[in-house]
Amino acid sequence: MTLKLLLIQGANMASLGDRQGSTYGDLTADRLNQMLQQHSSKLGYKLDIFYTNIEGEAINKVYASVTDGIDGILANPAGFTYNAYALRDCLTYVAPPYVEIHITNIDKREIKSVLSVAAAGVVYGFGIDSYFIALEAMLRLLNHEIYQNH
């Protein structure tokens, strides 16, 4: 069985590499996508990457993930981090397991994520590597659940 994961890239993430280089680095969204797809090919899981600046679109994607058979959802909520309560409720009550990702150390920046309470875990502060750490954590979580359920 091939695991299917969804990565939601929240508000402003499509501009990665074009904004706040001193905070987020110069890696573009397109290059990050390539790196993530290479990771999925190497480890044998399917990864759907979805960018949106609109919370309602993210919510619709979460609902669709249930009918699409997505096994796990990861998200860098970015601009949704501060006040996406509707998305938080959706991830809490509707979604498969959720792992939250942030490139920077949000505690150091004194940012509180309203979505983190819905997460199985949160990975932040490791730059772009936060994505790969989160993906591997999700794979371990899902493989453990699969093992426990058989």
pLDDT for position 149: 52
pLDDT for position 23: 52
Per-residue pLDDT tens over the stretch 98-137: 999 999 887 777 888 999 999 999 999 999 999 999 999 9
pLDDT for position 144: 82
Find the Cα–Cα–Cα–Cα dihedral 94, 98, 102, 105, rounded to 10°: 110
Buried b (16+ CB within 10 A) or exposed e, 31-47: ebbeebeeebeeeebeb
pLDDT for position 113: 92
Range 22-46 average pLDDT: 86
Range 5-9 average pLDDT: 97
Q: Between residues 24 and 118, which one has the greater pLDDT? A: 118
pTM for this predicted structure: 0.90
Q: Nearest to residue 4, comparing CAs of 97, 67, 71, 75?
A: 71
Does the pLDDT value for residue 18 go beyond 80?
no
Rounded-to-integer distance, Cα 127 and Cα 131, Å: 8
pLDDT for position 150: 42
Q: Which residues are catalytic?
A: 24, 102
Q: What 8-state DSSP symbol labels residue 99?
A: E
Per-residue pLDDT tens over the stretch 37-85: 999 999 999 999 999 999 999 999 999 999 999 999 999 998 899 999 9
Residue 88 near residue 117, CB atoms below 8 Å: yes
Cβ count within 10 A of residue 113: 20
Range 20-34 average pLDDT: 74
pLDDT for position 83: 92
Q: Nearest to residue 75, comparing CAs of 92, 20, 67?
A: 92
pLDDT for position 145: 67
